[in-house]
Structure 1
Amino acid sequence: MAGRADTETTVAVADVLPEYADAFPFDRFNEMQTEALPAFTDSEENVVVSAPTASGKTALAEIAICETLEAGGTALFLAPLRALTNEKESEWERFEDLGYSVYVVTGERDLNPRRAERADVLVMTPEKADSATRKHDSRRYGFITDVDCCIIDEVHLLDSDRRGSVLEVTISRMRRLCGPRVVALSATMRNVDDVAAWLDAPAETTFEFGDDYRPVPLDAGVKTYSHGENAFADKYRRLYRALDIAEPHIREEGQALVFVSSRQDTVQAAKKARDEIVERDVPMGARGEYDFHTDASDLNNDTLRQSVLDGVGFHHAGLSREDKNRVEQWFKEGKIQLLFSTSTLAWGVNLPARCVVIRDTKLHDPLEGEVDMSPLDVLQMLGRAGRPGYDDVGYAWIVCDRSDADKYRDLLRDGKDIESRLAEDMDSHLNAEIALGTLHDVEDVMDWLETTFYYQRAQSAPHEYVAGSDLRERVSETLRSLVDDGFVEMDDLSVEGTALGRLASKFYLRLETARGFADTAERADDGVDLAEDDVLRAVAAAAEFDSVSARSDEEDAVAAVLGSRADDLGPGPRKVLAILHSSMSGTTPTELKSDAWVIKQNALRMLAAFRAFLDRFAGPKAANLARRVEARVENGISESAVGLTAINGVGPGRASTLAAEGYRTPADVVDAGVSGLVSAGLGEGVADRVVTNARELPAVVVEWGDLPDSIASGERELHEVTVKSVAGSARAGIRVTINGHEMTAKPSYLGEATVPVAVFGADADELDLCVEVCFPELPLPLVEEHRTVRVE
């Protein structure tokens, strides 16, 4: 492993990368970058670099990108957080200026496959890269197999709960798919050799830069506070403790960065801190600076606008990009002396402060309840202490309860080994690999195991991991359980994913959730009619919501929504169910709103998945019900209005307006025409667009052909009925019943379809023929057309 160089020399960027000198915001590489440089420029081996926070690792990523571009290849940068992908897009406009294309692929944007395919630099989160590699053989995501260099920013994310295993299997999969060069960058980690061994990085391209490479030495410690009975009051106890720590530095014209657990906490802490600073007579703020006062008036956030003039700011992912950029710039300039932030700032923006305080070591997760902040986040935040060029030392403090103090002191003293989290989700990840078709037999499964960081850690720490033959047996047991539960089929030694396994992989479901969805769908296929509440209950009971908790004030709100319904569910699933029910009508109680957004977004993903299960195992009618429920949860509208949301340009407001006038379907909108929609309250231009878009959706017509009005008793005749759309086309399910008994059911793509109808004179006086048409992928109401045939 490379160590510290004997020389203190640095090199000029233009001497090493003359074509790309304008892509760097400085003229010379620093000592750390200079020492690592030959590993990038003189070698094609994989590279692993562990270096202190703020030592310049981002430039190493940019060197790797330049080398890849020089060779005509494509670079993929894996950012640890979605918020950081947007920042890289802005920051790397420098590459755009040199004629290269930078494209960010995230779940919050519609993918443009052509742009992704043509991009020279791709920026993704591990989760999005996982999704792309799972769909690599599709036209939309085929670009992922063209990656020549994969740069992992903050590879110690491997040790992060569920996200760590996602990163681990994604890198292993990419190496099998396209064999890119891998560059792994990390803050200081004790077992860098394990990461290097996993990635096959040789000693000469593996670097462990110690604290002597840190631009500013770090003085870190733990401060305790007196814990009370009230969690709300405890926040303020910790805030006053944090201000006690920060105040001396602020009085010396230094700056303090205080990390808190949530977006709302950044705002509330900033408000309280402003009052406390006035009370303590701490000299700070810039109200007398006319230009700053003018600039501050441009802020979008009202609270922030008032706060920054007093030298206090807050920063979180919910602020507009313009406001975040201004806050970051003013903090760098010293106009903001005290900044409250969530952990996002620690992972991405290079925004150091003389003093860093972690006020909250626990946070509320809507899906997990109260959880400890990860050690990785803690170390990342503390690493922001110390401003290069301004401070001789950085000060970093953790404020915690006395019962946690020793835990954090040990972390500061000893650091932390990076562990694999794959064992926690071994079954779902192994299922995904088999469902993708990358593993064909038991030997492939064992070969896959050896590509994982889990396997490498088991070799180096056998006393902490299942090792050797025991490890192979554990994987064999996991494989057998997948077979027993119906996710995988095994014939002799070959393995293949089932429909259940493929759906679980496609929608990133925990396997117990997938099994539950399939069981519900199969019951529906056996004739059990599903209602809206059944769909919502299936999602609320998903294993992904197992750790949701309901606080006492929330339980009253849940009861107000649900009444006595779902008393058999636990408090967490009942809370999820209440949020879903109230979301359908757009009336979520105030007490539930703080968690509702996250739960709702996850539930929409679950509803889409459940719809696919119903489509596959129960049929299009059940899937259509789930699609309508999904659209109601998303839009907060009535059953009568939901079908209109299928029209492009019709959101919940317009859908409700049109439904109030009696319109329910796109076909109704087309029949009404522009004048009808104008009469309903839409502007003429909007009405014209809505009618045009409505014509792209199906309008069902049933043609009964030569079906007779009557039939003699005991006679039997076979006829054909035509079902067609006179407007747009879509995948449909067609079902024919006679007096409530199913006679024909077939999937079709309307268009046009013919279905056989057998008419026979039975004991009944008349036959009620019903043709049902439903669309499993559109929130359109079920179409029913009836025809009566007399029996004479």
Structure 2
Amino acid sequence: MEVAEVVPEFAEAFPFDEFNEMQREAVPALLDSDANVVASAPTGSGKTALAELAICQTLDAGGTALFVAPLRALTNEKEDEWERFEDLGYSVYVVTGERDLNPRRAERADVLVMTPEKADSATRKHDSPRYSFVTDVDCVVIDEVHLLDSEKRGSVLEVVVSRLRRLCDPRVVALSATMPNIDDVAEWLDATPETTFEFGDEYRPVDLHAGVRTYTHGDNPFADKYRRLFTALDLAEPHLREDGQSLVFVSSRQDTVQAAKKTRDEIGERDIPVGSRGDYEFHTDAEELDNATLRKSVLDGVAFHHAGLSTHDKNLVEEWFREGKIRVLFSTSTLAWGVNLPARCVVIRDTKLHDPLEGEVDMSPLDVLQMLGRAGRPGYDDVGYGWVVCDSSDADKYRELLREGKEIESRLDGNLAEHLNAEIAMGTIRGLGDVMEWLETTFYYRRAQSAPDDYDFPNLKERVRETLDALVEDGFVETDDDLGLSATRLGVLASTYYLRLDTAREFEAVATDDADADGILRAVANAGEFDSVSARQSERDAIDRVLGHAGDEMDDGPRKVYAILRGSMDGSVPPELRSDAWVIKQNALRLLAALGAFFDRYDDPAGANAAARLEARIDTGVPEDAVGLTALDGVAAGRAHKLHDEGIETPADVRDAGVSGLADAGLSEGVAESVLGQAAGMPAVSVDWGDFPESIAVGENEMCEVAVRNDGGATPVGVRVTVNGVEMTETSGYLDDAVTAPVGVFGADADELTFEVTVSFADLPLLPVTDTRTVAVE
């Protein structure tokens, strides 16, 4: 079955000329109807072509397709791969959290690509102009639908699919690796037996021999890593001596590098002929690599691959591995889900991972099966070999997994309250009847029907009702006399910012209190999102160096988060904490943005400003006196530090410096002009005291008016007036030209009265503007 005969208008979109046996069987279901399709097939059998066929059918009908990819790295790969659709005149647009959304491009796109998390975010905001495009999709292709079983991410995928089906009822095409209970997924998605395909191991391009190899566990975790590494090399060695290749999965980016270094030495000791040092052309090509360690390693036939490498280096490693120049490749799990890079022998060296937010966790069974599925090179090998290296206490668990596979379970029960609150906040659930209708659209409900004892199916609806009652009792949802449901201010904030409900309640308490910057930091560090963070023994001295005795009353995990945030504010996170710092920082920045929104919604501009300044400092590491520079587009950490070093610390300083002064500080002329333009749009605030008296007699009083004037860009502000440190008045509003605040001057027992006006910028990380006046009491 030739591609050009089946989809002549899209033949150039496929990287091959003929469909294989598995693809041929699915073609009629994908192209000749709009029915929902579910297909499971072994890794490497060509599932991607099924996704592309579904997209072709949608494009041919003038519709829009949404491709949901399991990892952000894969969305970027699809953007590159699907330039083939661009060449045919169709627009492909990737929507990720790391890029600014272009709503016009998204609205005009023919193919949208998102992760489940981004699709969740977009559909939660579907009634806003920026995200309305998400309800105009005609077909949703779910890549790796067995991600439903992921403890962390499965519920997100589940609610997104259910939500889209309720919002716009698109066609759904779900693809997955082999899963024993495919019928549960098919029933959930209303796929008929004729459009449900379960392709077994006979469709694997290469047979798979999978097994478990144990090692002797010791007391030293570093020594254990080397024990597992030598075991992995024992398993790979016979294949390497027969000109085969081995792909070894390890737990972290750092481990890929360290394992590659040790393997180069060990291969030399064992005299395994895998190097390419005699290949002078390859020697020259290797000089193109950005990573110096990788540059040395590839010449010995050993390499590493992880998400932290440059795209250039990753592409070269993949190309050389396919060509056989690299014989042993160490990688993190990302490679198993993404690039089709098979090897004769695949070894999973590490079954336990360190998660910055969870501590030590077992590798997901889905990841294990996905990795082993990379064993065997179509067209080169008759059989692939996959091995799990583990402690003997875990051996039976993995043997059972390899023998029976992994049934797909719903993970919605673990955070049912958060997702139910989100649906009510969006308005897709408006009453008790809607709650039960929503429940019946979930995989949770379908799976409970299939395994009633495991899910306590007879009591499932009562469980959901109890969850709803708790949301009402805790202040996230309110009801009316007609049994209608709506989200409270707290419920909307929790949904908008993806907060755990316990965190949202704590943030509400902080926002209604008079929290200072340190109190805000502590609230974030103590958030439930970090409750599984642990501090290893080797990290505790580093934490003490950052904090001294600050936070001694905190538990070890929150105190570690607190130390990372404090260290990030001035760019001094100790090396011992850096491996976890990036993930913790990203989550903390999200939580700080959320807490800032709480301050804003509870009418505390000063609190919102404090949160914004903390967020900017943690993100960039700029000093407190230069944090206002981060309000300017195009000024991130590097430029902010550069300007600060030259004495340019605020947008006002930028305006005073002009293009020439900014150029003298190291900015290019084009960047200087852009930054100066940004600074011109910032607020320029001053305090006008008017006819404020210099003195007042004891017992007398005088009502005055203080004006806050703005000669720059308009912005929301809070104005607070104190006398001798005691709050006198507070007001907030949108500062365009000027706002005024009444101030009473009362002759009191004190010798003098010091009045202070503080102007805080609710939406900007600018330092507050303060001004004082002293009145003598005579």
TM-score by length of 1: 0.95
Q: Is the contact between residue 624 and residue 779 of structure 1 (CA under 8 Å) also seen in structure 2?
A: yes
How far did 1:688 drift?
Answer: 4.9
Aligned to 2:319: 329
Per the alignment, residue 517 of structure 1 pairs with 507
Distance change >3 Å, CA 329–CA 566, structure 1 → 2: same
Residues 259/654 of structure 1: CA separation in 2 closer, same or farther (3 Å cut): closer
Aligned partners of 1:562, 1:321: CA distance in 2, in Å? 37
CA–CA distance in 2 between the matches of 1:357 and 1:682?
Answer: 49
Q: Does 1:259 align with 2:249?
A: yes
2:764 alignment counterpart: 778
Aligned to 2:629: 644
Question: Unpaired runs of 5+ in structure 1?
Answer: 1-10, 525-529
Instruction: Quote the residue 2:18 is aligned against.
Output: 28
Answer yes or no: is 1:603 the counterpart of 2:588: yes
The aligned length equals 776
- Worse overlay, 430-439 or 708-717: 708-717
1:618-674 per-position Cα deviation (integer Å, ceiling 9, x unaligned): 600111111111111111122222122223343345434554565543123324545
Matched, 1:732 2:717: yes
Amino acid across the alignment from 1:625: A
CA distance in 2, matches of 1:467, 1:692: 62
Contact 2:37-2:173 within 8 A present in 1 as well: yes
Q: Secondary structure at the match of 2:175?
A: strand
What is the SS of the residue equivalent to 1:224? strand
Q: Distance in 2 between matches of 1:687 and 1:126?
A: 39
Distance 1:685 1:47, change over 3 A: closer
Amino acid corresponding to residue 764 of structure 2 in structure 1 = L
Return closer, same or farther for 1:250/1:778 CA change in 2, 3 Å cut-off. same
Change (3 A) 1:643 1:324: same
Tell me the distance in 2 between the aligned counterparts of 1:503 and 1:298. 48
- C-alpha spacing 1:711/1:349, structure 2 compared with 1 (3 Å): same
Identity fraction in percent: 70
Contact 1:718 1:756 in 2 (8 A): no
Structure 2 residue aligned with 1:435? 425
Aligned to 2:369: 379
- Greater mean deviation of Cα atoms: 621-630 or 652-661: 652-661
Deviation at 1:788, TM superposition (A): 4.5
For 1:70-469, list aligned pairs within 5 A.
70-468=60-458
- Look up the match of 2:676: 691
CA contact (8 A) 2:721 2:756 kept: yes
Match of 1:503 in 2: 493
Shift of residue 515, structure 1, vs aligned partner:
0.9
Contact 1:550/1:571, CA 8 A, preserved across alignment = yes
Output the CA distance in 1 between the equivalents of 2:607 and 2:278: 65
* CA deviation profile, 1:464-509 (whole Å, cap 9, x unmatched): 00213x1111011111111111111122421111111111111111
- Superposition CA RMSD, Å: 1.9
- CA displacement, residues 316-339 of structure 1 (integer Å, 9 cap, x when unaligned): 111111111111111111111111
Q: Does 1:491 align with 2:480?
A: yes
Secondary structure, in 3 states, of the residue corresponding to 1:523? coil
Would you say the 8 A contact 1:716–1:758 is kept in 2?
A: no
Call closer, same or farther: CA 1:782–1:75 in 2, change over 3 Å.
Answer: same
Q: For residue 31 of structure 2, what is the amino acid of its counterpart?
A: T
The answer as to whether partners of 1:45 and 1:181 remain within 8 angstroms in 2 is yes
SS in 1 for 2:19: coil
Deviation at 1:743, TM superposition (A): 4.3
Given residue 183 of structure 2, which amino acid in structure 1 is its aligned partner?
Answer: D
Aligned to 1:480: 469
Write the distance in 2 (CA, Å) between the matches of 1:658 and 1:187: 52
1:751, distance to aligned residue in structure 2 (A): 1.1
Single out whichever of 482-491 and 371-380 deviates more from structure 2: 482-491
758 and 716 in structure 1: CA distance in 2 versus 1, 3 angstrom threshold: farther
CA contact (8 A) 2:215 2:228 kept: yes
Preserved CA contact (<8 Å) 1:258 1:338? yes
Deviates more, 1:335-344 or 1:451-460: 335-344
Q: Give the whole-Å Cα distance in 2 for the aligned partners of 1:756 and 1:326.
A: 64
3-state DSSP of counterpart to 1:137? coil
Task: Give the CA deviation at 1:302.
Answer: 1.0
User: 1:241-265: CA deviations, max 9, x gaps?
Assistant: 1111111111111111111111111
Opposite residue 670 of structure 1, the aligned amino acid is R
622 and 277 in structure 1: CA distance in 2 versus 1, 3 angstrom threshold: same
Shift of 1:739: 4.7
Partner amino acid, structure 2, of 1:552: Q
| CA 681–299 in structure 1, closer or farther in 2 if over 3 Å, else same | closer
Paired with 1:713 and 1:573, the residues of 2 have a C-alpha distance of: 52
Q: Is the 8 A contact 2:704 2:745 kept in 1?
A: no
- Seen in structure 2, the aligned counterparts of structure 1 residues 124 and 789 have a Cα distance that, compared at 3 Å, is same
Moved more, 682-691 or 319-328: 682-691
How many Å apart are 1:737 and its aligned residue? 3.6
Contact 2:706 2:743 survives alignment (8 Å): no
1:767 is displaced (CA, Å) by 5.0
Structure 2 length-normalised TM: 0.96
* Matched-pair contact (CA < 8 Å) for 1:145–1:178: yes
Compared with structure 1, are the counterparts of its residues 760 and 250 closer, same or farther at alpha carbon in structure 2 (3 Å cutoff)?
Answer: closer
Q: Is the 8 A contact 2:42 2:200 kept in 1?
A: yes
Kindly provide the CA deviation profile for residues 671-715 of structure 1, in whole angstroms up to 9, marking residues without a partner as x.
454566567676776655443321111110223345555667766
